[in-house]
Structure 1
């Protein structure tokens, strides 16, 4: 189980090695994604809070990166954070998320990226529920629900 100290170590040193890498040109990404998906995932944008029904859906299943299909989160790790974005306590595997220090807008945060294709997903914070204490605050347009259980 990842903890905040693990996240900080990844962000400050080096990220876990992904199982594969997907690299495409900006034009290739634009042709495959909606304008909003492209803005969020490829240009590090943020969707409006409470703009997706995904925040309030808690059915069993798996969530993948909308860009490359890498499985990122299991719905069993999803929780209601009240922030307006889907939130999870842990990724499905330690090596599916990449972490980068983000000091933009006068804040100190840790950005989360798909470790396979470098899609911007959101941020992770140390204010989640026990036992990990993590809150992966994700942009819903960066995720795709791919399986039910």
Structure 2
């Protein structure tokens, strides 16, 4: 369980830095009299939102996926990899949808669901696949 928490923390850091980098405006492209946040500050904001999702949604999803996949035998490693890849992707999309629902209900703004659904689902997919690939590095010894 400790390894899964470490994987969630590392995944959060990578995802947050990636999102901050994507949304960062370089100094040379900034407009005058407009407030821009530093890269680290934006990364911290993404961390505040993504860490709970990784801890509350990612770790239980990972345990469930391992339990589901453990009930089946795979002849080839590629089949196991692709099965887990698909399951992590689906669970990431579902977790993102639930996160969006919580945000929309918390803000009493249900229009957020239709306006941002595809974006959140894509981000959930990316976040879950980051978690999956980091977990492959951490649990590599167990699969051998």
TM-score range, shorter chain: under 0.3
Question: Normalized against structure 2, the TM-score is what?
Answer: 0.25
Kindly indicate which of the two structures has a greater share of residues assigned to strand: 1
Q: Pick the structure with more helix per residue.
A: 2
Larger Rg: 2
**TM-score relative to the length of structure 1:** 0.24
